[in-house]
Amino acid sequence: MTRLEKAEERVRTAKDKFEARDLDSELRSFAQVYLNGLDLAAIKMDWLKDVATRFQKTGVLSDAQTKGVLNCARASLARAKQKNGSGGSAPIRKPEAAGANLPDGTYTVVFEEGNHRTLKIATAPESSKLAGKRIISYLSGSDNADWRSYTGFGFINDTDDGDECSFFIWSKFRIGKGLLTEAVEVLLGDPKAAAKAYGMESGRCCVCGRLLTVPESIEAGIGPVCAVKFG
């Protein structure tokens, strides 16, 4: 277990809120990594969004801010654990309504709290060292239609029977993995809802990325041709 993984475990299992006296180099490092991994557009809490924005620009975090960030991370990890268990590489069963396969494309998952996160699934080309692997990324930039605005964080593939998806998160993203794992759980739980949310947000098809012009397609988040891929 790495130093940051130990810190995440401390945050995850903390019984009480963190105070300034609890801070040490391990927890400070975790708070910084946690902030750097947040999608600013998806943060609903104004205070956390302001702190994350300032930190990502300046790299400065006060003790009071560090304490607050740790408590936000603690609450988020607790919610993720309650909803999804430990997350990580365990198979995640898809409902029959999702179809046998989850097409490559761009999806927006909406959490119960109202905040959201945009995810992209793409199969690496033959020229890549990861040829054939399906890579899942999160929107880390400002343009949801530009692949350069996405950061890959793991692999996602259908199992042989087509009934389940196996999700593996890359080691550098395992700190605070509850946030990303929760987003993947929501996506796999109802991909059509995530497709619809992306279509309503961007006006584009979640699979091919083309601009949608028919109201029914915009509402579904997918064009009629690509809709066949959902089964």
Torsion on CA atoms 18, 21, 25, 29, rounded to nearest 10: 30
Point out the domain boundary residue: 84, 99, 118.
84
Whether residues 195 and 141 share a domain: the answer is: yes
Whether residues 57 and 42 share a domain: the answer is: yes
Mean pLDDT for back-to-back runs of 10 residues, the chain (231 residues): 78 91 90 78 84 82 93 84 51 40 86 82 86 88 84 76 65 67 83 88 89 88 85 61
Whether residues 126 and 195 share a domain: the answer is: yes
Alpha helix stretches (DSSP H) within 85-190? 177-189
Whether residues 135 and 54 share a domain: the answer is: no
- Measured distance CA(229)–CA(208) in Å, rounded: 11
- Measured distance CA(105)–CA(122) in Å, rounded: 7
Whether residues 7 and 79 share a domain: the answer is: yes
**pLDDT value at residue 94:** 43
Whether residues 115 and 12 share a domain: the answer is: no
Point out the domain boundary residue: 27, 62, 84.
84
Whether residues 28 and 119 share a domain: the answer is: no
**In terms of residue numbers, what domain contains 58?**
3-84
**pLDDT value at residue 67:** 94
Whether residues 48 and 161 share a domain: the answer is: no
Whether residues 148 and 184 share a domain: the answer is: yes
**Exposure on the CB side of residue 145, measured as CA atoms within 13 A:** 10
Q: Which two tokens stand for residue 212?
A: 């949608």
Whether residues 145 and 179 share a domain: the answer is: yes
Give the count of domains, the chain. 2
- Measured distance CA(38)–CA(31) in Å, rounded: 11
Whether residues 50 and 100 share a domain: the answer is: no
**pLDDT value at residue 39:** 72
**pLDDT value at residue 66:** 94
Whether residues 145 and 204 share a domain: the answer is: yes
Point out the domain boundary residue: 20, 53, 84.
84
- Measured distance CA(215)–CA(121) in Å, rounded: 25
pTM of the model: 0.59
E strand intervals along the chain: 91-93, 105-110, 116-123, 134-139, 150-158, 164-169
Bridge-based pairing of strands 105-110 and 91-93 is unpaired
